[in-house]
């Protein structure tokens, strides 16, 4: 599985994790493997999932800092939020991808999963971090 496909799996897992904040990383990983009918979770997916869950509060806090006045994280579409969290984690912590490439990959995930009108929002949010 290539890096883009691993990121796609990770984004779906982060989306799942956001549905019930009590899920541990290992529970999310097991549910993702079952849900997507995978033989095993790619190593890069696992790294992202565990990192995003571990740093969830930090990532959401940083994203919230760039929202317009009177906007809150819980108003962001859940798919878009998962895309933002994965990308921000990669921007801040990944040794495998450059920040601009992480933004580009997030926009590719938007094309696959998000509402087209969310793409400029995601691009704008992530531009604050590079």
**DSSP string covering the chain, please?**
--HHHHHHHHHHHHHHHHH-TT--HHHHHHHHHHHTT-SS--HHHHHHHHHHHHTHHHHHHHHHTTSPTT--GGGS-HHHHHHHHHHHHHHHH-SSS-HHHHHHHHHHHHHHHS-TTHHHHHHHHHHTT-
What is the rounded average pLDDT for all residues in the chain? 93
| pLDDT value, residue 70 | 79
Please determine, for residue 69, whether its predicted confidence score (pLDDT) is greater than 90.
Answer: no
C-alpha closest to that of 56 among 13, 99, 2: 13
Question: What is the pLDDT confidence band of residue 12, given thresholds at 50, 70 and 90?
Answer: very high
Interval 92-119 mean pLDDT: 93
Q: How do residues 22-61 score in pLDDT, each as one tens digit?
A: 999 999 999 999 999 999 999 999 999 999 999 999 999 9
């Amino acid at each position: 599985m290539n890096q883009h496909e691993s990121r796609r799996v990770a984004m779906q897992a982060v989306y799942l994790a956001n549905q019930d904040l009590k899920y541990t990383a290992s529970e999310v990983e097991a549910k993702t493997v079952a849900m997507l009918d995978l033989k095993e979770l790619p190593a890069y997916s696992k790294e992202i999932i565990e990192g995003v869950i571990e740093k969830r509060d930090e990532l959401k806090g940083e994203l919230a800092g760039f929202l317009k006045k009177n906007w809150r994280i819980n108003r962001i579409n859940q798919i878009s939020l998962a895309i933002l969290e994965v990308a921000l984690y990669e921007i801040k912590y990944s040794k495998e991808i450059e920040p601009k490439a992480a933004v580009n990959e997030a926009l590719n995930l938007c094309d696959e999963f998000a509402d087209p009108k969310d793409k400029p929002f995601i691009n704008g949010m992530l531009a604050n971090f590079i």
